[in-house]
Chain A
């Protein structure tokens, strides 16, 4: 089976890994956003949602393991590609012409991804860890909304989500280009769908810190 390993480590194979894990993460984000929307339903709606997740814990744990490995593959492979791609041009240009031939979303995918990663670590510590390892008696709605009252956390959340939107706007169409689905009939639609998806995710997630910071969830 060495051909599988070798193929996945070729220039095109590494892109395929990025695309598959990227699509998996994009599907996860949809579910994540749907769950987060229960915050707008108030204390009971959110706490009931969390209780539901507690109820199906073994299933959630399996999903978490899969999700974690998808994240690791996406992040590890992305970083490796970034390093290798830097090495492909040891001496850069004195004049950078990239603004003239590329868009900001594709150019900055590594940077936006890196910032989202930093946010992910903080997010896991402040929310995921608290939810899982501090007993089920806690009022998680209050804990969550209190975090959004902290200005730096709300700001970090908002900025990270905005940059995630940049990342997704590039990633969505990029994944399908990598799959080889760049076709006259479908690709213009895929590109539009990717922008719509990125907008929904940005507005959906981004509205939460704004709402709870300014209105305190009242």
Chain B
């Protein structure tokens, strides 16, 4: 069966390693509109490998928008032009024949480039280690619904917990701020009874580590919410600010 294909010009960021200076390399492709963006890159890589050339390095895992591994800046927008999806869910039918597409890695001081389009996002893992957890008793499994939680609160916590930690908020922010990510993680625990024991310690230490990695501050431009594949709300940033102020006022930490 013959499918109609669209012709595109891709300008892909190629960079050997963190130290080297990168630049755009042009690729002319003819691709099915039903192909996903990452499948198109796979095709390019197959061709490159056939020619014994170095394939484009990019990250992906689940390819169904839930793992947060993929993430490219496509024509200046993290995860491309379609809102509320990850790069892996972006299909070529959203582009027109003859389009020029710039593909860049997430850019931030805290996200050094490893190679080509792959960046090191472990700074986000360090932030999680600093407080993105709750303490639970081991051994027997606790009863489900043993702690009553109002539906609205549970939903709000779930909305925050939708964050897949992809880093698009950092990539979109003009300040490369990680506030949306950190605030989603602070919120999902702060809202629920299970998160109360570490509540104030959590926000203090997560913000501290966030600052240490050189993420910027929030200018309230809300680019993060607009580009978040899960639509995590900037209300979480307001909540994190509240939590932070309360923590500073209430906690025993005098350092």
Contact = CB atoms under 8 A, between A and B. Distances in A.
Where chain A touches its partner, the secondary structure class is helix
A101 B169 CA distance: 11
A12 B204 CA distance: 11
Interface in A137-194: 170, 173-174, 177-184, 187
Contact of A102 (B208, B226, B242): B226
Contacts of B255: 2-3, 6
Interface residues of B, number: 48
Contact of B240 (A6, A12, A98, A102): A12
Contacts of B234: 177, 182
A101 B217 contact: no
A85 B172 contact: no
Interface residues of A, number: 44
B165 to A, nearest CB: 18
B231 interface: no
A107 interface: yes
B177 interface: yes
B136 to A, nearest CB: 28
Contacts of A15: 217-218, 241
Given A177-B234, A180-B242, A85 B222 contact: no
Given A84-B217, A93-B107, 16 more contacts: A12-B218, A12-B241, A85-B175, A85-B219, A88-B175, A88-B214, A89-B109, A89-B175, A90-B109, A94-B24, A95-B75, A100-B76, A178-B220, A180-B238, A180-B240, A182-B237
20 contacts: A11-B217, A15-B218, A16-B241, A85-B175, A87-B216, A88-B109, A89-B175, A89-B176, A93-B107, A95-B102, A97-B77, A100-B81, A101-B223, A106-B222, A107-B221, A170-B220, A177-B220, A180-B238, A180-B239, A183-B235
Task: Give the top 3 A-B pairs by smallest Cβ distance, nearest first.
Answer: A97-B76, A180-B242, A182-B238
